[in-house]
Amino acid sequence: MPGTAQSNPAAPHTNREVKVVAISPPPSIEQGPRSSEPHPAPPSGGAPLNPKHAGAALDWFNLFVANIQTGFGPFIAVYLASQSWTQTSIGLALSIGTVAAMASQVPAGALVDAIPNKTRVAAFSVLAFTACALMFAIYPIPLFVYLAEILHGLSSCTLGPATAAMSLVIAGRYGMGLRLGRNARYAAIGNGVGAALMGACGQYVSERAVFYLTAILTMPALIALLPLRKVAVARATPTGDAESLRGDTFKVLADRRLLIFCACAMLFTFTNAPLLMLVSGNMTAKVGNPSLLIAACIVLPQVIVALASPAAGRLADTRGRRLVLLLGFAALPLRAFIFATTSNPALVISVQALDGIGGAAFGVMMPLIVSDVAGRTRHFNLALGLIGFGVGIGGTLSTPAAGWLADHFGIRSAFYALTGVGLLATALVAFAMPETKPDPKAEGQ
Amino acid sequence: MNVTRIVSLMLTLMLLCACHSHPLKVETPAPPAALQPEPPTSEEEPAIPPPTATLPESTEIPPCLPVEAPARSPAKHHIKAPVAVSPEPQPVAPEAPTEASVKPVGMLPSVLGKRVHGPDGEDYGRVVDVLANVRGQVRLAVIEWGGFLGVGNRRIAVDWTLLRFPADPQDGLILEASKRELQSTPEYKDNDRAAALMAAPAQASPMPAASAAAPPAADTKK
């Protein structure tokens, strides 16, 4: 998705894009204090992790994963239409995918928490992507398509937390900001390159070839994981009985900071998701050659995210999370407002740069704040899943709502309504969201 | 143990979905083949013969029926049965005349998903839906075009008579409309305010008088 840290390259703002794949920052062993906290434990077994290799490996992994996710977005509807599917069946397939992705956010987070070797989880998720791509490409009968949709939803929801957890293991809590920024940068590069590649493939070869290409691109992702295969988290021995364990989970999930941020994330995605869809539909109606312009609308924010994410992470580490959040959130109603007032293609494309700013900020802050709140607990991935679920709800509700508004009251009213929601989100961040940056002195490090 | 539970839950979900697989083709209930004079692709054949349609004359399929041809009214009734959108299903009389039989039809490609090109070969997208009125006449095709990787696609409805079916079934269809006309047609929505791009009366094929008087289902030329 352009702008957001969700590694779904093609228009993350469509309703299918709400699969949150938390961008895990590349391991930041090479900078920041090597925290000596007991949890997570350093990688176990064998030679110690080479920091530079691990960092580069995670970078490439993020890039290729973002590449892979391009084909699984709204492009599936185009592909199935070319296979003579009826619109009803296509809608059903897409809904199954959305429901599967939403329903598996929280359980997948818990699953990733339970499995010590996060690299293994990531590897299996990528293998699942390969299977999905091949199911689409070779034999798109309903059974396989529904299966692939469910599998893809589940794998997206395990992959995000797994990469975030890998980063946390290697980065430590105090280096997460910059690392998450680097992760977002490489994911954005992967998004942009993936969109260009898949678009060209779909245009000049065939729609089916896009899925073959996706399957091929999963290989480099797996290879990138090889240096990281020893990354593991020592599972903290559960102390106490089942009662206290359940209480622990509840304590993490009910943390006020997490819940407020979940609400902010929901509102952000609610505003962000339909914007690209509305604007590009408008361009198709008005412009002679819309494909290139829409491609520019998708790729430009990715470029901005690639450029700005590490800076966002650094800023969050030095000046605090709230500042970055505010900047990113404020870009959103501004963008919606400008879209309401003009449909000049040149202006639209340049305003998409604001999408990049909002996306860089949100994409880096989302896993960062979760790691602030829950990084030391055993429920980091569960908390990630919770935020992902909120984002999913926001996105799933907003696209039909915006479409309905645009149908009945015109596209301008839809944009104004989205501006209002964006302002509400910004206000929530400004007045309710506390600062979550961990203070090393206060925590006795 | 948690992992096992989750994995078995996933498998159960997959099995449930497998049991509910949908048929791939259009889901309108098709009467048994034996009762149909024409093969079930009658929904996709226009009731109004397009000017350059090239149904091979050598097959045994009777040509498309103009609506007003009175001599064929029993067969017309049979054709309408699969595509009628009336609320209660019309029981097709089993004691139909001797026309009801299964005939080989050769290779007829699906219309759904077919590429559409402009008069000068420009890419106009794909056919994603075919709309018929209550009398069983195919009136409109819904075409999805534009966008990039599925983002920004736009659906419009066009008059069926604007489509030309080329000689080679593997080629795309030709839509006799300019890009500007496509862009000025409002987006197709499946509601009562739907609007479609209709052929100008002079440029449409010489339609039989009866079907010209058929109620235009919310058609407006934009």
**pLDDT tens for each residue of A283-304:** 888 877 788 888 888 899 999 9
CA atoms within 13 A on the CB side of A138: 10
Integer Rg of chain A from CA: 20
User: Residue B63: which pLDDT band, with cuts at 50, 70 and 90?
Assistant: very low
Q: Nearest Cβ partner of A294 from B21, B22, B147?
A: B147
| Mean pLDDT, residues B165-171 taken together | 81
Asked if the C-beta of B14 comes within 8 angstroms of chain A's C-beta atoms, the answer is yes
Between chains, do A277 and B147 touch, taking CB under 8 Å as contact?
Answer: no
Percent of chain B at pLDDT exceeding 90: 12
How many interface pairs between A and B have CB atoms less than 8 angstroms apart?
137
Q: How far is B70 from chain A (nearest CA, A)?
A: 34
* Rounded-to-integer distance, Cα A263 and Cα A127, Å: 33
Residue B131: phi and psi, rounded to 5, are -115, 135
Asked if the C-beta of B148 comes within 8 angstroms of chain A's C-beta atoms, the answer is yes
For residue B212, give the 3-state DSSP assignment. Answer: helix
Nearest to A334 by CA among A199, A233, A426: A426
* Burial class, A209, CB count within 10 angstroms (exposed 0-12 / middle 13-18 / buried 19+): middle
pLDDT for residue B23: 47
H helices, E strands: number in chain A: 15, 0
pLDDT for residue A90: 92
Task: Report, as ranges of residue numbers, the positions in chain A whose pLDDT lies below 50.
Answer: 1-47, 234-237, 240, 445
Between chains, do A86 and B13 touch, taking CB under 8 Å as contact?
Answer: no
Between chains, do A291 and B147 touch, taking CB under 8 Å as contact?
Answer: yes
Between A336 and B221, the higher pLDDT residue: A336
In chain B, which residues have their Cβ closer than 8 Å to the Cβ of A195? 148-149
pLDDT for residue B55: 42
pLDDT for residue A9: 32
Between A248 and B118, the higher pLDDT residue: B118
Cβ pair A102, A392 in contact under 8 A: yes
* Rounded-to-integer distance, Cα A19 and Cα A153, Å: 7
pLDDT for residue B33: 39
Contacts of residue A118, Cβ cutoff 8 Å, sequence gap at least 6: A112, A162, A163, A165, A166, A169, A231, A232, A233
Cβ pair A347, A338 in contact under 8 A: yes
Q: Nearest Cβ partner of A276 from B17, B151, B183?
A: B151
Percent of chain B at pLDDT exceeding 70: 50
Cβ pair A6, A19 in contact under 8 A: yes
Q: What is the mean pLDDT of chain B?
A: 66
**pLDDT tens for each residue of B71-110:** 444 444 444 444 444 444 455 555 555 678 888 888 788 8
Cβ pair A422, A271 in contact under 8 A: yes
Between chains, do A195 and B112 touch, taking CB under 8 Å as contact?
Answer: no
In chain A, which residues have their Cβ closer than 8 Å to the Cβ of B172? none
In chain B, which residues have their Cβ closer than 8 Å to the Cβ of A279? 152
* Pairing status of strand B123-132 against strand B138-145: antiparallel
